[in-house]
């Protein structure tokens, strides 16, 4: 494990904005940054990053922590792996390092395999694959940028290269690169195929897809790996690691969404470097949430027939429900982005992009085209179909726009369409899941009590540990006992260091710390607010002590212990005076 000094040095050197920018589209908000939270379906920015404290907190789902915690969550790393990653980036040499993790070994093997496929493409065996790419207009520069490769035609070419031991074969099988034969042993999954490496948003190779160069009976034209520890179908997007860099410093990011690998590559070659591909599958909610991290607008550029398919329409709905603006580019009949650019160049695609329709207008036009004569039976069936579709749209204004558009398209009153659509609706089922504490950027959604206020002042540095220890005890806190014990156990009497505090807390208390650290609460008199919070927390203890003194006083009088009784009486009067003073202060504070 890393030492305390090593952790502090990494924290001091790391650029938290640069790290989070690899995964999120950050926007400055005062001294902090805001972003769409990647850990829950977030329709508006609810995650806050403090670049100085290097802490993050989502005021939607409650997730929060330091820079190590963010990397652990987003990359599914252990704490040690996150420390080693940031240590390498910041030039901090760790004195002790454990062995590489299983995931790290898989990433490393994928990189070696990607290099191997790339070399095959450039060598003599890749001649036919290079010729195919040339015919499709793919340049050598694009081959290098997208790391395109070639899988040799043999059944065990890759296996012999990388699977010399049983352990190596097991790793290749985990990555989906070899398949176990019925009679035992393994064989290569990709044979005589053009290879497209699949990368995560940070550019690490997580899998591969292959395209046949020669038709083989029973073999699909495109073949993707199965789910692996690094790759899950429907959760990745081709070329996202390149497209997310295209937006530069723009405050409003747009991504172009296409279906195929070659569509995306052709768009990048033509200058549309913000293109990504769904890899030939229907867009999923997970992919929609992934896109929302990096963009505010998505332009769909599917071929015209595919755009109107039910699966594509559900994907558009998922994008809108994720909080994205959605436009649909209407390509000419029987054209896809790749063919359009090869025939008409970048200008042809740009013209289509400029005429893209908003999602709701495209959907209405798509339905209206299926009943040009407004045949009543046909319209009734289409409205029933629309009802099921509209039911799944989260935005009420968008639902109303769709109903209005359908009414105009079919020459009906809005009320009629709404009634027809309403027939398809079903009561929403309550979804199981953790209940997050209601909060929002800029301060809590619900009023804080004295414990939250006192912790806020401690974490913000307005109240020193020394003063808190003098006036309070851990037992004065009933809602956060573990947290306050950890705070009182911190070394020194100066301001708290939240990053040090996070190291010793459980997850629930970590979230409380980051929420309080990143909340911005205004006070007309901050010093008075601190005194009020201290007084409110001391009240219950004083009331408890007075009850105990009263009982002791009664016992002393019963036993004739006059000196003890006099001392207890004086102590009781002192406590009563202090209690009256505290109560008065609390009441005045509540009035303010």
Q: Are residues 485 and 576 in the same domain?
A: yes
Q: Are residues 215 and 298 in the same domain?
A: no
Mean pLDDT (whole number) for 556-583: 73
Residue 482's pLDDT is: 83
Looking up residue 182, the CATH number of its domain turns out to be 3.90.980.10
Q: Are residues 253 and 309 in the same domain?
A: yes
Is the pLDDT assigned to residue 446 strictly greater than 70? no
Q: Does 47 map to a domain?
A: yes
Q: Are residues 123 and 58 in the same domain?
A: no
The pTM assigned to this predicted structure is: 0.70
Looking up residue 402, the CATH number of its domain turns out to be 1.20.50
Structural domain boundaries enclosing 544: 439-591
Mean pLDDT (whole number) for 555-564: 79
Q: Are residues 468 and 502 in the same domain?
A: yes
Q: Does 235 map to a domain?
A: no
Q: Contact 592/524 with Cβ under 8 angstroms?
A: yes
Separation of alpha carbons 353 and 344, rounded Å:
14
Residue 571's pLDDT is: 74
Helices of type H across 308-358: 310-321, 337-354
Tokens of residue 69, six digits: 């915690």
**137-146, 245-254, 442-451: range with highest mean pLDDT:** 137-146
Q: Are residues 328 and 370 in the same domain?
A: no
Q: Contact 33/51 with Cβ under 8 angstroms?
A: yes
Looking up residue 261, the CATH number of its domain turns out to be 3.40.1360.10
Cβ neighbours of 161 (radius 10 Å):
15
Q: Are residues 443 and 562 in the same domain?
A: yes
Q: Are residues 129 and 154 in the same domain?
A: yes
pLDDT digits 0-9 by tens, 505-537: 888 888 889 999 898 887 878 888 888 888 888
Separation of alpha carbons 371 and 378, rounded Å:
6
Is the pLDDT assigned to residue 146 strictly greater than 90? yes
- pLDDT confidence band for 249 (50 / 70 / 90): very low
Q: Are residues 113 and 54 in the same domain?
A: no
How does the average pLDDT of the chain come out, rounded? 84
Strand order from edge to edge, sheet including 275-277: 275-277, 254-258, 297-300, 325-328, 357-358
Is the pLDDT assigned to residue 251 strictly greater than 50? no
Helices of type H across 392-447: 396-410, 414-422
Give the domain-ending residue among 90, 117, 147. Answer: 90
Domain count, the chain: 5
- For the ranges 42-51, 57-66, 489-498, the lowest mean pLDDT is seen at 489-498
Is the pLDDT assigned to residue 32 strictly greater than 90? yes
Residue 96's pLDDT is: 53
Residue 435's pLDDT is: 30
Is the pLDDT assigned to residue 15 strictly greater than 50? yes
Separation of alpha carbons 538 and 545, rounded Å:
11
Give the domain-ending residue among 224, 259, 282. Answer: 224
pLDDT digits 0-9 by tens, 94-131: 765 445 668 888 999 999 999 999 999 999 999 999 99
Residue 247's pLDDT is: 53
Q: Contact 510/69 with Cβ under 8 angstroms?
A: yes
Is the pLDDT assigned to residue 581 strictly greater than 90? no
Q: Mark residue 140 as left, alpha or beta (left: phi above 0; alpha: psi -120 to 50; beta: remaining).
A: alpha
Mean pLDDT (whole number) for 65-88: 87
> Which positions ≥6 away from 429 have C-beta within 8 Å?
none
Give the domain-ending residue among 174, 198, 224. Answer: 224
């Amino acid at each position: 494990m890393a030492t305390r000094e090593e952790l502090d040095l990494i924290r001091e050197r790391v650029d938290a904005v640069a790290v989070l920018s690899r995964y999120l589209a950050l926007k400055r908000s005062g001294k902090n940054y805001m972003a769409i939270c990647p850990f829950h379906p977030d329709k508006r920015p609810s995650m806050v990053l403090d670049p100085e404290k290097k802490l993050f907190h989502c005021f939607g789902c409650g997730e929060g922590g330091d820079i190590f915690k963010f990397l652990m969550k987003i990359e599914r790393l252990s704490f040690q792996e996150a420390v080693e990653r940031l240590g390498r980036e910041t030039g901090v040499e760790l004195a002790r390092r454990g062995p590489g993790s299983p995931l790290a070994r898989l990433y490393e093997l994928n990189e070696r395999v990607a290099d191997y496929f790339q070399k095959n493409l450039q060598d003599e065996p890749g001649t036919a694959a290079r010729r195919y790419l040339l015919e499709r207009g793919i340049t050598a520069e694009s081959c290098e940028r997208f790391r395109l490769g070639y899988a040799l035609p043999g059944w065990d070419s890759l296996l012999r290269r990388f699977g010399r031991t049983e352990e190596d074969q097991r790793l290749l099988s985990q990555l989906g690169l070899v398949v176990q034969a019925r009679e035992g042993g393994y064989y290569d999954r990709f044979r005589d195929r053009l290879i497209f490496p699949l990368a995560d948003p940070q550019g690490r190779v997580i899998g591969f897809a292959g395209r046949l160069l020669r038709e083989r009976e029973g073999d699909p034209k495109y073949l993707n790996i199965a789910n692996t520890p690094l790759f899950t179908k429907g959760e990745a997007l081709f070329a996202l690691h390149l497209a997310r860099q295209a937006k530069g410093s723009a405050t409003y990011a747009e991504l172009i969404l296409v279906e195929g690998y070659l569509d995306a590559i052709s768009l990048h070659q033509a200058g549309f470097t913000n293109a990504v591909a769904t890899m030939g599958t229907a867009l999923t909610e997970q992919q929609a949430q992934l896109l929302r991290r990096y963009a505010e607008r998505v332009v769909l550029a599917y071929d015209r027939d595919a755009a109107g398919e039910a699966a594509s329409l559900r994907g558009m709905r998922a994008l809108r429900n994720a909080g994205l603006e959605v436009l649909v580019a209407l390509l000419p009949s029987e054209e896809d982005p790749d063919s359009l650019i090869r025939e008409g160049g970048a200008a042809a695609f740009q013209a289509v992009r400029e005429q893209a329709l908003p999602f709701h207008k495209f959907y209405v036009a798509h339905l209206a085209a299926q009943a040009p004569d407004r045949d009543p039976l046909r319209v009734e069936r289409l409205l029933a179909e629309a009802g099921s579709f509209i039911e799944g749209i989260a935005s009420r204004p968008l639902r109303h726009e769709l109903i209005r558009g359908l009414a105009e398209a079919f020459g009906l009153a809005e009320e009629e369409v709404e009634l027809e659509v309403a027939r398809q609706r079903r009561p929403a089922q309550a979804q199981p899941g953790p209940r997050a504490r209601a909060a929002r950027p800029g301060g809590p959604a619900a009023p804080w009590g004295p414990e939250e206020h006192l912790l806020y002042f401690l974490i913000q540095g307005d109240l020193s540990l020394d003063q808190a220890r003098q006036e309070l005890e851990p037992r004065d806190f009933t809602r956060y006992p573990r947290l306050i014990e950890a705070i009182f156990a911190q070394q020194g009497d100066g301001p708290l260091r939240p990053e040090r505090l996070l190291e010793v807390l459980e997850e629930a208390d970590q979230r409380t710390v980051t929420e309080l650290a990143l909340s911005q609460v205004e006070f007309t008199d901050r010093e008075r607010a601190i005194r009020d919070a201290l007084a409110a927390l001391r009240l219950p203890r004083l009331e408890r002590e007075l009850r105990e003194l009263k009982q002791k006083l009664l016992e002393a009088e019963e036993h004739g212990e006059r000196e003890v009784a006099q001392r207890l009486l004086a102590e009781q009067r002192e406590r009563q005076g202090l209690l009256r003073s505290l109560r008065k202060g609390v009441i005045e504070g509540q009035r303010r």
